[in-house]
Amino acid sequence: MLVNLARVIKYGFQSFLRNGWLSFATITVMILVLLVFGGLILFNVVTKATIQSLQDKIDISVYFKSNVSEDSILSVRSSLEKLAEIKSVEYISQDRALEEFKVKHKDEPVISQALAEFSTNPLLASLNIKAKDPRQYAGIADYLNNSTLQNVVEKISYAQNQIVIDRLVAIVDTVQKFGIALNIFLALVATLVTFTTIRLAIYSNSDQISVMRLVGASNWFIRGPYIIEGILYGIIGGILSFIIWIPLIKFIHPYIINFVSEANLSVYLQSNFIFFLGYQLILGIFLGVISSLIAIRRYLRI
């Protein structure tokens, strides 16, 4: 068994080396495909950081009537924090709201003068609510609009932010659909190229395959070298694409940071070194083996 396996591996290497230029072309295309797949991972990292940054800037606020006590507001906050959809709830007292308003408009004397005309604090206490998913803000707004809170709630800012929230949801959905479609397309391209290479290798070795059949070689012994050849395409393509990505990430890192400060690709690569390399290798081997099996099944009649 081990002797036969060693021979299968040996013949696979020989076929790989014998078809030098064809193997080179296949590996080149495999590298390009794996580079794009790696780019999709990094694009996903940048996209998630961008979306997270946008989500952190979006919230809804619920403003309470001026006669509502702080204990009642904190009780509402506690009930909100128990909801699975809630990421965080921040309490803004009337005094804090006034201080923040003054700081924000310190360079606008007209507003400051108008504010000084009030004998009491005109601002309302509020809760700033952030959801885990922007799709969940509508449900949170419905929860706040229930009859039990109508006596304490003055207004909810969801209607003001709804357009921005809906646009963010649309962006997230579009990016996810685009990423899935691009992954499928690239997988088909890589499979087709490797499939064509294996098919040509089978044709070029047709005489040798006939001799192996005559001497009684088993089916798996004949098929094995082509599977090994596909694995070699995947391993070499995966390693080389990973090596190419290292300087590429260093090159594009400053530009990405200027665009999205949270998307640090250099840190991502350092902390996910094994995952990124393993992803390139496993994906390359998978594409190589699948292509080999398809070609063998279609063009190697045993």
List the chain domain ranges. 2-54+168-299, 59-159
Is 59-159 in CATH node 3.20.20.150?
Answer: no
pLDDT in tens, 250-268: 888 888 888 777 778 888 8
Label each residue of the chain as H, E or C.
CHHHHHHHHHHHHHHHHHCHHHHHHHHHHHHHHHHHHHHHHHHHHHHHHHHHHHHHHCCEEEEECCCCCHHHHHHHHHHHHCCCCEEEEEEECHHHHHHHHHHHCCCCHHHHHHHHCCCCCCCCCEEEEEECCHHHHHHHHHHHCCHHHCCCEEEECHHHHHHHHHHHHHHHHHHHHHHHHHHHHHHHHHHHHHHHHHHHHHHHCHHHHHHHHHCCCCHHHHHHHHHHHHHHHHHHHHHHHHHHHHHHHHHHHHHHHHHCCCCCHHHHHHHCHHHHHHHHHHHHHHHHHHHHHHHHHHHCCC
The Cα 36–Cα 186 span in angstroms is 8
Q: Does residue 3 carry a pLDDT above 80?
A: no
pLDDT in tens, 155-174: 888 766 677 777 777 877 78
pLDDT in tens, 28-37: 877 887 887 7
pLDDT in tens, 5-56: 676 677 667 767 776 777 787 788 778 878 877 887 887 788 777 777 777 7
User: Residue 246 in contact with residue 36, Cβ under 8 Å?
Assistant: no
CA atoms within 13 A on the CB side of 92: 19
